[in-house]
Amino acid sequence: MPEIDTLLSVENLSTHFFTQQGVVRAVQDVSFSVKKSRTFAVVGESGCGKSITALSIMRLVPEPQGKIVAGKINFSGRNLLDLSEKRMRAIRGNRIAMIFQEPMTSLNPVFTVGYQIEEAIRLHQHKSKSDARDLAIQALQHVRISDPKRRIKEYPHQMSGGMRQRVMIAMAISCEPELLIADEPTTALDVTIQAQILDLLDQLQKQSQMSVLLITHNLGIVAERAQDVAVMYASRIAELSDCKSLFDNPLHPYTQGLLKSLPRLGFTGKRLYTIPGIVPEPLRFPAGCKFHPRCPIGCNDKRCQTVEPQLRQISDGLPRRSEAETGRAVACWFAPGYERPDDPK
Amino acid sequence: MNTDANTNGFLLKVDDLKTYFPVRKGLMRRTVGYLKAVDGVSLAVKPATSFGLVGESGCGKTTAARSILRLIPVTSGKIIFDNIDILAANSARMRDIRASITLVFQDPFGSLNPRMTVANIVGEPLKIHKKITGSELAEQVRLILSKVGLSADAINRYPHEFSGGQRQRIGIARALILKPKLVICDEPVSALDVSIQSQILNLLKDLQQEFSLTYLFIAHDLAVVQFTCDIVAVMYMGKIVEQAPVNELYNNPLHPYTVALMAAIPKISVSPQTSTHRLKGEIPSIFNPPPGCPFNPRCQFAGENCFSQNPPLVPVAGNNEHLIACWHIKK
């Protein structure tokens, strides 16, 4: 079976924040890999560590409080965590680019959008000013902004939210990155504009073969746009799967609960399923499996209360539908196929 | 009591509501035009039902709700609530009305005063409107907190000690303590996490049954509205473009904008789907709306009429409850 090339692999990444109240374990032992020209989604609720995972890959974790304490981030044969800041800068924005949730605050209000796109191009590609301008106009054309020659002279406040997000994307793709990290790229936008932006990302991906690491809280976007997915809960990956298997047959009780609790178009029931309780605070994580206080299966189980399950590859018993399919992994003592040592005495 | 207003069994009736904001320019701040935030909205809400207003940001749904409470000056129209003409009410009468129409806000962080305890936040409406104090006040606060699923030890704590979902429960308790007839929920769950959203939506439904509440529910998420509401109106640029009972609207959406809005929602299924109803372009500037139907620049069916005249909101053939404002759809 020919394996699809891996572009980025994250191995046992842990990122902690050292605060006055204690150590916040924002990302704990996270491993996944992003394949070439595919979309990998990291989905989870606020505070689950998905954005910090993205920032860790970019090595943009705010220091000195935040620190990557363990793990490897392999990107095209190199561990990004071993690179000097100078060499990292040559990769950041060039080979790995990032777009953010709020296009208003991530663009500089006092420079024209043209200047901001050109800046990235001149920094990474050593082009002359006029060449950079041409490339910037091209980039705006790529993201389907009409009349780019005029738009390039505008300031961010003269544009709508969808337009600004297009500018952000133009900036990100201007250096033809191999990996685009999109951190909640459409959360601030209206649904009709959201659909346009996601369509645009799809088209760009097809044209350029780049990989996309999509960070989102919206399971609908994951279902429509991603091929592989990691579900995060309380700093850890709860479940790792290809997209189809996840939605057909979720294995982790948290994933199952999330999927059941969503109000969907066409739902006519009287009540929604709810996951009881709230997401635990990072400084007060429960012992054992962090989901056990809210879990319908494990809330009274001794093992779930005391021993945290690790993310393990399992076979869900179904034949693999294609060679592109990733194996599934889950962190739950009760998942089918999850190996359990003897019950604790 | 002013009983000239006949509302035919509706708790709230809004007729041709217009809320315009003047646009001023130049040294003299002369009014050069109007921003028509709400432009001729009519709706009627029956008691103990939920009426949903859906639309994208800037469509005027929040302005419409605030106009009903007269939190912003209304340009013209008629609002009858519980047989009282709201726009004709004097300030004392308005005070009473605001005790029977309450608001639940979107942002559970911004809508609670961080320097007040939960007891003060939830109890303040009672102090102001009913002049209740002391142990009776405390008793009522405790009662309503238990109704929204907060424990009694929440009383002396401050908002920052609670999670988003719990804060939204505090906001709901504050809205309900006066036993209002109408609760306006302005995007009550859009700031909450997925696993908390369903808790709050169920809570709002339970409370509606228990207290026979009437909701005016404002949201941008069609799935949320479908779960909560009986009748849904879709707004676009200050106007209602389609209105129908919830199942009718979702099974048989007619207005091209409603169809596109539904197609734009990411579906939770991985079956391949081609979306043919992708909208082109963005919402036009509300300062300078296009002539004719406001949706015409983005509409794939736009024909002659659409560029010259604004379509009225009229029932579709064979269904008096399904209203639509579109020249293209045969009535």
Q: Give the pLDDT confidence of A12-32 residue by residue, as tens digits.
A: 999 999 999 899 999 999 999
Tokens standing for residue B241: 């473009």
For residues A91, A94, A99 and A105, what is the CA-based torsion angle, rounded to 10 degrees? 90
pLDDT at B330: 64
Mean pLDDT across chain A, nearest whole number? 89
Q: Which of A83-92, B106-115, B207-216, B243-252 has the lowest mean pLDDT?
A: B106-115
Cα–Cα distance for residue pair A182/A240, rounded to 1 Å:
19
Asked if B287 and B263 count as a contact pair (C-beta separation under 8 A), the reply is no
Q: Which of A83-87, B26-30, B315-319 has the lowest mean pLDDT?
A: B26-30
pLDDT at B276: 57
Compute CA distances B327 → A150, B2, B97, B285, B296, whole Å: 35, 39, 39, 22, 10
Q: Please give the average per-residue pLDDT across B106-110, as a whole number.
A: 84
pLDDT at B275: 55
Q: Which of A118-132, B150-164, B251-265, B277-291 has the lowest mean pLDDT?
A: B277-291
pLDDT at A64: 87
Cα nearest neighbour of B221 on chain A: A191
- Indicate whether A4 pLDDT > 70: no
pLDDT at B255: 94
Secondary structure tally for chain B: helices H, strands E: 10, 12
User: Looking at chain A from residue 218 to 277, which residues have their Cβ under 8 Å from any Cβ of chain B?
Assistant: 218-221, 223-225, 243-244, 247-248, 257-259, 261-268, 270-275
Residue A214, SS3 per DSSP = strand
pLDDT > 90 fraction of chain B, expressed in percent and rounded: 62
pLDDT at B272: 54
Compute CA distances B89 → A126, A285, A341, B85, B98, whole Å: 69, 54, 73, 6, 11
Amino acid type, A286? P
pLDDT at A317: 58
**Cross-chain CB nearest to A223 (options B199, B205, B267):** B267
- Is any Cβ of chain B less than 8 angstroms from the Cβ of A164? no
pLDDT at A322: 47
More confident residue, B195 or B53: B53
pLDDT at B3: 44
pLDDT band of A1, cuts 50, 70, 90: very low
- Indicate whether A42 pLDDT > 90: yes
Tokens standing for residue A46: 């606020």
> CB count, 10 Å around CB of B189?
26
pLDDT at B258: 93
- Indicate whether A326 pLDDT > 90: no
Interface residue ranges in chain B relative to chain A, Cβ cutoff 8 Å: 56-57, 163, 165-166, 193-199, 201-202, 205, 220-224, 226-227, 247, 250, 260-270, 273, 275, 278-279, 282-283
Which of B228, B251, B258, B265 is the best mutation test for A, with the most CBs of A within 10 A?
B265
pLDDT band of A98, cuts 50, 70, 90: very high
Q: Please give the average per-residue pLDDT across B214-224, as a whole number.
A: 92
More confident residue, A86 or A267: A86
The long-range contacts involving B149-154, CB below 8 angstroms and separated by at least 24 positions, are: B149/B203, B150/B118, B154/B118
Asked if A135 and A190 count as a contact pair (C-beta separation under 8 A), the reply is no
pLDDT in tens, A123-142: 888 889 999 999 999 999 98
Q: Which residues of A84-116 are buried (b: 16+ CB within 10 A; e: fewer)?
A: eeeebeebbbbbbbbbbbebeebbeeeebbbbb
pLDDT at A324: 45
Q: Which of A218-222, A264-268, B152-156 has the lowest mean pLDDT?
A: A264-268
Asked if B308 and A302 count as a contact pair (C-beta separation under 8 A), the reply is no
Cα–Cα distance for residue pair A132/A119, rounded to 1 Å:
8
- Indicate whether A72 pLDDT > 50: yes
Q: Please give the average per-residue pLDDT across A324-336, as a whole number.
A: 80
Compute CA distances A280 → A46, A54, A114, B78, B107, whole Å: 11, 21, 44, 48, 21
pLDDT band of A76, cuts 50, 70, 90: confident
> CB count, 10 Å around CB of A340?
11
- Indicate whether B265 pLDDT > 50: yes
ipTM confidence: 0.81
Residues 6+ apart with CB under 8 A from A78: none
Q: How far is A61 from chain B (nearest CA, A)?
A: 24
The long-range contacts involving A202-205, CB below 8 angstroms and separated by at least 24 positions, are: A204/A142, A204/A143, A204/A169, A204/A173, A205/A37, A205/A39, A205/A180
Handedness of CA B268, A186, B58, B69 (dihedral sign): positive
Phi-psi domain of B128 (left: phi exceeds 0; alpha: psi -120 through 50; beta: other): alpha
Tokens standing for residue A112: 């024209």
Q: Please give the average per-residue pLDDT across B244-253, as a whole number.
A: 93
More confident residue, B207 or A146: B207
Tokens standing for residue A169: 């994307």
- Indicate whether B277 pLDDT > 80: no
- Indicate whether B2 pLDDT > 70: no
Asked if B138 and B119 count as a contact pair (C-beta separation under 8 A), the reply is yes
- Indicate whether B225 pLDDT > 80: yes
